[in-house]
Amino acid sequence: MYRSVSAVWKIPPEIVRSQFEAGIKPLIVSMTKCAPVRFFFRADDVGIPGKKFLRLMEIFHHFQTPLSLAVVPAWVTLERWEIYQALDRLSPELWCWHQHGWRHLNHELQGKKQEFGPARSEEQIERDILSGRDKLKRILHDRFTPVFTPPWNRCDVRALAILKEHGYLGVSRHWRSLPPAPDGLPDFPVMVDLHTRREATPEAGWKALREEFSASAAAVSGICGIMIHHQRMNAAAFLFLELLLHAIQDTAAVQCLHLGDLVHHA
């Protein structure tokens, strides 16, 4: 699946390294000055194996860093799951395979994209959420964690109520997403978007990226969620990710967890 690369990553590797060392690494350190910080990484749009996705998993395995994998149920098959299992079996504790909608289709005729928004009936929303859950249970078995990431990080209040009613352990959206999740359905938002950025220039992209890390440092939750889209990654984006994981690994007051861990600490 092709996705465009954001302007922020259209720079040489040496610039990525210098931008990281000067602008991002100090923010990682600053996050831990007052209290320990927990990080989680969420990789969206999972379901179709490819070189970029396998490289992503290999990087997280190399750094022994947990990764939450948001799987689009309609995209995954038994054959594709077998490919993922080759790495999953090496360090099963690193991975949280959870649900990313049903088909990742937009049903809104106007406004922002949503798979589970106001254009659909409650019955349609419930049917698709449960169809996705049941397929993932059937293919992934006990490797499936009942946490829900809605496509485009948004869904309406009825979808959230359905998730709670059917025993989902949590939801993960963007940190400014509305409506709020109901009591009893923990929300673990991402605050940093690495790859679906829309800035017109690398300079604007780096400025905005630093602002997102700064906002994470100021957050009172003590949890920093980082969103990944592997289809949009190039060499510069992969280098940045490696630098980021290395810096986090070297910072004593940082703990990395995946969504499966976080729901049990909620």
Q: What is the CATH number for 33?
A: 3.20.20.370
Q: Does residue 179 have a cis bond before it (omega within 30 degrees)?
A: yes
Question: Is 2 domain-assigned?
Answer: no
Domain hosting 124: range is: 7-265
Confirm whether 42 is domain-assigned.
Answer: yes
Which residues pair with residue 1 across a beta bridge?
none
User: Taking 70 as the threshold, does the pLDDT of residue 218 lie above it?
Assistant: no
- What DSSP assignment string belongs to 68-123? EEEE-GGG--HHHHHHHHHHHTT-GGGEEEEE--SS-----SSSS--SSSTTS-HH
Q: Buried b / exposed e across 223-250, counting CB within 10 Å, b at 16+?
A: bbbbbbbbbbbeebbbbbbebbbebbee
Q: How confident is the model at residue 217 (pLDDT cuts 50, 70, 90)?
A: low
pLDDT per residue as tens digits for the range 152-210:
999 999 999 999 999 999 999 999 899 999 999 999 999 999 999 999 999 999 999 99
Element (H, E) at 225: strand 223-228
| Domain count along the chain | 1
In a domain, 1, yes or no: no
The structure tokens 């690398």 sit at 202
What is the per-residue pLDDT across 85-109, written as a single tens digit (0 to 9) for each?
A: 988 999 999 999 999 999 999 999 9
pLDDT digits (tens, 9 = 90+) for 170-185: 999 999 899 999 999 9
Token pair of 121 as six digits? 């009936």
- Any domain includes 27: yes
Q: How far is CA 129 from the centre of its chain?
A: 18
Residue 104 maps to a domain: yes
